[in-house]
Amino acid sequence: MIGAGDAAGRGSTRVARAVLSVPDTAQREDLAGFVGRAVRLDPAVVVRLRARPGERDAVEAFAPTPFDALVTRSAPGTLEPADVTLVGSDLLAALAVAVGESVEPGTSVDERWRGPLPPLRPDARWQVVGEVPTTALDGLAEKGVAAARAGDPGGRPSAALLDQIVLTVTDDASGLEVRVPMRCVFALSGMGFVGPGAGGDDVVRVSTDGGWLRLDARGGAVVRRRRAQLPLL
């Protein structure tokens, strides 16, 4: 599933060890919390870190979820090399015991990353389509869990349920429309971005860059490739 351009850009040079520097203690703890939630969803998860192009002091973390949607969070800091995949539990342990701003989060496992990321282009821009209360998304997640339990004794959601479009957000001014499947709502809930402790008065910002949809909450974001290209005509 790795795109040809992605593999070509990452396969020729390997750096055995990575160095991540997040100077702010609170930001480092928040990043550790994000990684910890991803590890709870999947103990074998890998986390891909990359420095934002054109922004030397910002690092993005991406992790896959069991719902075929990526979760991401950024933190002010630096990364060497600029794009590296790490074992999630190793990264979590390194962040948990860090006594300074720099950590060595283990050996790179770039070959284990399976899938594309949103564009690395410096000019890539997310266009906000609308905002949805976290309480509304939490309600959708609860209905999804109930539907999964009704269809499977173990509560495993079916592919049909995961692909069900449960929310459509439209910006009348631009004509942009984003259709959100249940798998993205489950990813939001599974990471604790909505639900108890997420902030009942908060909203989730819905945006798109054309090829991807993005749901931004207080604790992080969910991103996923879209099947249809908009704006609407």
Domains of the chain listed by start with CATH number: 4-112 (3.10.150), 127-225 (3.10.150)
Q: How many C-beta neighbours within 10 Å does residue 5 have?
A: 10
Question: What tens digit of pLDDT does each residue of 59-70 get?
Answer: 999 999 999 999
Q: Are 37 and 72 in contact (CB under 8 A)?
A: no
Q: Three-state SS for 218? A: coil
Q: What pLDDT was estimated at residue 84?
A: 96
Could you tell me the two tokens for 201?
A: 């008065």
Question: What tens digit of pLDDT does each residue of 85-144 get?
Answer: 999 999 999 999 888 899 999 899 999 998 999 886 555 688 999 999 999 999 999 999
Q: What pLDDT was estimated at residue 195?
A: 77
> pTM of the entire structure?
0.86
What single DSSP character describes residue 52? P
Question: What tens digit of pLDDT does each residue of 22-61 get?
Answer: 999 999 999 999 999 999 999 999 999 999 866 568 999 9
Phi, psi for residue 110 in degrees, rounded to 5: -55, -30
Task: Please check the confidence at residue 174 and state whether its pLDDT lies above 80.
Answer: yes
Task: Please check the confidence at residue 15 and state whether its pLDDT lies above 60.
Answer: no
* Overall average pLDDT of the 61-86 stretch: 95
Average pLDDT, the chain: 87
Q: What percent of the chain lies above the pLDDT cut of 90?
A: 69
Task: Please check the confidence at residue 4 and state whether its pLDDT lies above 50.
Answer: no
Higher-confidence position of 201 and 93: 93
Could you tell me the two tokens for 133?
A: 């209360």
Residue 2: pLDDT band (50, 70, 90) is very low
Non-local (6+) Cβ contacts of 212 within 8 A are 118, 223, 224, 225, 226
CA dist 43 and 37 (Å) reads: 10
Q: Are 102 and 80 in contact (CB under 8 A)?
A: no
Higher-confidence position of 93 and 14: 93
Beta bridge partners of 128: 207
Non-local (6+) Cβ contacts of 143 within 8 A are none
DSSP codes of every residue in 112-169: G--S--S---TT---EEEEEEEHHHHHHHHHHHHHHHHHH-TT-PPPHHHHH-EEEEE
CA dist 110 and 195 (Å) reads: 33
Phi, psi for residue 32 in degrees, rounded to 5: -60, -40
Helix axes 134-151, 182-190, angle to 10 degrees: 110
Q: Are 222 and 73 in contact (CB under 8 A)?
A: no
Q: Are 222 and 214 in contact (CB under 8 A)?
A: yes
